[in-house]
Structure 1
Amino acid sequence: MADRPRRPRLRRTLLAVLVTFAVAVPVSGAARPAAVPAPAPTVLGPLRDASPAALKERYGVNRADIRAAGRAASGHGDLKRAASLRAMAAPGRQFLAFDGRDGGRSVEVVGELSGARRIAVLVPGAGVGLDAYGRLRRGAVALQRELGEGAAVVVWLGYRSPATVSPAALTTGRADEAAPRLRALVDEVRAVRPAARISLLCHSYGSVICARSAPGTSADALVLYGSPGVGVGDARSLRTRARVWAGRSGGDWISRVPQVRVRVPFVATVGFGTDPVAERFGAEVFDAGGGGHSDYLRPGSRSLTNLGRIVSGAEPLGAPR
């Protein structure tokens, strides 16, 4: 008898998820742009040397690959992609990896990795790609400035980010594909900077990827923010030694996403389950201010301040919201 009042609410929640899924399929299919061609990148292999000379050489090779991809995009008639790639190939930009094919993959360093004592790895969520890379880059620059000298930010766009409104954004499929590559990147950074403090900063759908890569990660902190859930019921299920943090801004629309996981027959499991900021999840919750879903790295924000403190190993300010 005690479960009866909960059943109508649960049915409404499940219906909302299914309707979202049904609407997302035709919308995302209609909006998907044609693939932009790009040449195969230079094969560099894993990062094994973080000396200034080795990094300079690696950055130079990737800059040439980005310029080649830009020429291909221009020849294809995609002026938006070409302009974004020109900006990425500007002098002073530092890419550890780049591949312009299949929507594009990249790993950029903001700051000096060779001497960094604190390293943040930014893992973006849905709707982020080479065409919208400038916004991601601005957030990384703001974070590096917040961290100051002796810190580097690694911007990991190492997967095919799903469209914000799409079936892929409602399931763990892309995250399952991406997680081994993220874990490998963190292991490489750990190998070349063994004494550094490494933090994974995981935004939105990126938190699902971080959760999938968490078992055995060599990161010191795992920070889930603006998260729709991560596909497990609690922090203990992440099976990680990293300190797990969670935060959500007061104006983030992600709070209205149903915190459920539903098996859609013959399709997939939709949704990501328990909210990471919920007490039962068991993460350490930090005050992320009152901004919106895309405001966590906004200069001057409480969220940026506290993300910087967590990366630095300090306790965040204020009571969690």
Structure 2
Amino acid sequence: MRIGDAEKTTGRAGRLLRALLAVLVVAAVVVPLVAAARPDIPAPAPAARTAWTAGTLEKTYAANRSNAELASEMARDNGDRHRAAADSALAAPGRHLLSFDGRGDGRATEVLGDLAHAHRIAILVPGSDTTLDTYARFRAGADALYRRLTREAPAGTGVAVIAWLGYTTPDTISTTVLTPDRADEAAPELRAFVAGLRALTGPDTHLSLLCHSYGTVVCARAAARLDADELVLLGSPGTGADSASGLGTRARVWAARGADDWVADVPHTSADLFGTTIGFGRDPVSPAFGAQVFAAGDGGHSDYFTPGSVSLANLARIVLGESTEVTRAQDT
């Protein structure tokens, strides 16, 4: 490398690091004020979990609906009408909750479809700012995918979609969104969930993890011991790995980014600062990463599951195993 090229590379790295530090400074000021303004939300302890079997699923769903209804009543008594409404929606008849925890930002895992008899299952892992208060938006994406899958699945192929809000997501304006700490906490939870799902469905069921934004960091942290067939990275800020093979997964790794996704402007670098890793490294849609890059259309960061979109069509093809029909990024 020539001296001039080296100086340019060093300059770019320095600018990227300064950008990350600037975000840290802003977050250090803003986040404590936001957190201080957020009151605790009372809720019951989660319902006791039992092993999932075809015979126990309905009891599990019913127990978690009851827990969500109680959480709604407690939130309403506490004057939090927004959370009360969110919990009440989850408690409605017909909602299939594998888990629910109304405490704090909240957690929920919801099934769309007949889980016990599904041949192909998609698990959605969300990114930052996903809580029980914003869960309806996350669930809408899962519903859009489920509707598309049921239309396009071959006759006799059962499908299910799982909205997995199984961890405490970081706030977009926060220091936590720049580090892998939340992902490191979430990874064992995701592995345990997938292991329990495998025990229910058996080894022949095809599992696809569709991971969005900071959720791609969660999936990457869990990937090495995650029994999945497809790993899809959507709008990723990076995974902490330099390559798809560096994730250590047997799953086929896919990646996509919409043309209007602001995450393209996020510095795809990482640095150690005071013993903490800041940033997530190489861009998963870059050729050097080695993922199967597919087209996501003109959408923005929150548009990957928009009905009728190029992205949703390709996600359905991946889940259904129609890999040769997936539109590659270079084909658009």
TM-score by shorter chain over 0.5: yes
Contact 2:105–2:133 at 8 Å: present in 1 too?
Answer: no
The size of the alignment, in residue pairs, is 317
Are residue 37 (structure 1) and residue 42 (structure 2) matched?
Answer: yes
Mapped pair 1:216 → 2:219:
no
Residue 178 of structure 2 corresponds to: 170
Shift of 1:320: 0.5
The Cα shift of 1:145 comes to 0.7
**Cα distance in structure 1, aligned partners of 2:22 and 2:88:** 40
Equivalent position amino acid for 2:328 in 1: A
Q: Structure 2: 5+ residue runs without aligned partners?
A: none
Q: Are 1:301 and 2:303 matched, yes or no?
A: no
Q: Determine whether 1:257 maps to 2:271.
A: no
Secondary structure of residue in 2 paired with 1:60: helix
Q: Distance in 1 between matches of 2:259 and 2:51?
A: 40
Distance 2:326 2:168 in 1: 34
Q: State the distance in 2 between where 1:113 and 1:153 align.
A: 8
Partners of 1:101 and 1:212 lie apart in 2 by 25
Moved over 6 A (4+): none
Alignment of structure 1 residues 202-281 onto 2, 5 Å: 202-265=211-274, 268-281=276-289
- Cα distance in 2 for partners of 1:30, 1:116 equals 46
1:5 and 2:24 aligned: no
**Aligned to 2:329, what secondary structure does the other structure show?**
coil
The 8 Å contact of residues 102 and 160 in structure 1, kept in 2 or not, is answered as no
Where does residue 70 of structure 2 map in the other structure? 68
TM-score (norm 1): 0.96
3-state SS of the aligned residue for 1:156? strand
- 1:40 Cα shift? 0.9
Question: 1:20 matched to which residue of 2?
Answer: 23
Query: What SS class does the counterpart of residue 56 from structure 2 fall into?
Result: helix
The runs of 5 or more residues in structure 1 that have no matched partner are none
State the shift of 1:216 in Å: 2.1
- Which of 133, 136, 139 in structure 1 is aligned with 2:135? 133
- Alignment check: 8 A CA contact 2:318 2:326 kept: no
Identity of aligned residues (%): 48
Q: 1:300: how far off?
A: 0.2
Structure 2 counterpart SS, 1:5? helix
Which stretch has the larger CA shift, 138-147 or 102-111? Answer: 102-111
Q: Which of 150, 153, 161 is equivalent to 1:153?
A: 161
CA RMSD of aligned residues (A): 1.2
C-alpha displacement of 1:207: 0.3
